[in-house]
Structure 1
Amino acid sequence: MTVVGYARVSKREQNSQAQEAELKAAGAERVFIDHGDSSRVKDRPQWVACMDYLRFGDVLLVRRLDRLGGTERILIETLHELEDKGVDIKSLTEPVIDTTSPMGRALFGIVAVFAQLRVDTIRENTRLGLEYARAQGRVGGRPTVMTPERVEVARQMREQTPPATWDTIAKTLRVGSATVRRALASSPDRGPGSLR
């Protein structure tokens, strides 16, 4: 059994030495540290290296669980992956998170269940909200800047000879060229030369 530490600091200029010292003092033989990588990204370089290094029976030591993931979805996925690898988890600042003991495993299971329930509830509420909005005739997302008048101007500019470039149309309409392309691509009565 090897005790492996993992630390993460959100910004490159932040100092990770305090976390590293705490983990080593608590018995970590090796510590992996990510600098400046978002907790909302799962494939952080040192985390990937840490997961490759961990073996069945090892203990992963963290200061807090939020070092592993910044969203409940990522955190739950990560915890399941560690469980599948046979790796125990221990948090220095959250005593209930310690799967090396029967009581810790039981408490951890309860915490994980409630975290999953919260994620599922948020997902279900979002789905119901979107369905209700659609039933009321509302569609989510930002309103488009490409009004029917602007789409018509863009189409005419593309169909003139020679056709205006995407950048020229975008500058004329004061929108991005990708916005113009999307608008013409989704327009039901687009002309044959509108997307060339």
Structure 2
Amino acid sequence: MSCVGYARVSTHDQDAAAQEAELRAAGAQRVFVDYAQSSRRTDRPEWEACLDYLRSGDTLLVRRLDRIAGSDTMALEVIRDLEKRGVNIRSLTEPVIDTTSPMGRALFGIVAVFAQLRVDTIRENTRLGLAHARAQGRVGGRPTVMTSERLEAAQKLRESALSYAAIGRALGVGKSTVQRALARADR
């Protein structure tokens, strides 16, 4: 059973020495450090090496959860995966995240439930908002540049056997814009 640290900085300009020192002072025997890596990526080289190194009974020590995951859901997935492997996790700045104790595991479970509730609520509100907008005749996305005049001109130019690219150049729009507009008009 060992204590393994993980540190990460987002840019080459940042220095991970302070994180590494904190982790070592807290008991990490080995520290993996990623430089210029986004927390939203799961394929960080040192993160992958750290995951390979961890064994059942080990504790992963981080300064903050945002060092290992770029979102609540991502953090929960990482913590659950580590828990399945028998690896504990402890955060230096978020004492509620300490799966080495029964209270820490219980609090983590509560935090996980609320994080999932937040994700589900956002998803449901988004779905309801989009349905409401559609019911009022609004659609999402950028407004089309193909006005009725441009569409009419494109249809006439297409009848004269011009290519989509040529029509697009003549109307000042892209080839794919012309193709989509004409396909919609044909339907």
| TM-score, shorter chain, exceeding 0.5 | yes
2:131 corresponds to which residue?
131
In 1, distance between residues paired with 2:53 and 2:136?
52
Counterpart code for 2:176 = R
Task: Find the residue that maps to 2:105 and give its secondary structure.
Answer: helix
2:182 corresponds to which residue?
187
In 1, distance between residues paired with 2:11 and 2:128?
37
2:34 corresponds to which residue?
34
Q: CA deviation at 1:147?
A: 3.4
Q: CA deviation at 1:189?
A: 6.4
Q: CA deviation at 1:184?
A: 0.6
Counterpart code for 1:135 = A
Task: Find the residue that maps to 1:188 and give its secondary structure.
Answer: helix
User: Could you tell which deviates more after superposition, 102-111 or 151-160?
Assistant: 151-160
1:118 corresponds to which residue?
118
Which residues of 2 match residues 17-166 of structure 1 at below 5 A?
Answer: 17-150=17-150, 156=157, 159-160=161-162, 163=163, 165=165
Q: Deviations over 1:54-75 (max 9, x none)?
A: 2222111000111121222222
Kindly indicate whether the alpha-carbon contact (under 8 Å) linking 1:60 and 1:88 is maintained by their aligned counterparts in 2: yes
Q: Please state if 1:3 is matched with 2:29.
A: no
Over the matched positions of the two proteins, sequence identity in percent amounts to 61
Kindly indicate whether the alpha-carbon contact (under 8 Å) linking 2:164 and 2:179 is maintained by their aligned counterparts in 1: no
Counterpart code for 1:107 = L
Q: CA deviation at 1:89?
A: 0.6
Q: Can you give the 5+ residue segments of structure 1 that lack an aligned partner in the other structure?
A: 192-196
Q: Deviations over 1:133-178 (max 9, x none)?
A: 1111111122233435445656737943xx4757x946961x5x5x
TM-score for the superposition, normalised by structure 1: 0.79
Counterpart code for 2:86 = G
Task: Find the residue that maps to 1:76 and give its secondary structure.
Answer: helix
TM-score for the superposition, normalised by structure 2: 0.83
Q: Deviations over 1:82-105 (max 9, x none)?
A: 122221110011112111111111
Kindly indicate whether the alpha-carbon contact (under 8 Å) linking 2:4 and 2:28 is maintained by their aligned counterparts in 1: yes
Pairs aligned (count):
184
Q: Cα 1:164–1:140, aligned 2, differ >3 Å: closer, same or farther?
A: closer
In 1, distance between residues paired with 2:115 and 2:7?
22
CA-based RMSD: 2.7
In 1, distance between residues paired with 2:35 and 2:150?
45
Q: Can you give the 5+ residue segments of structure 2 that lack an aligned partner in the other structure?
A: none
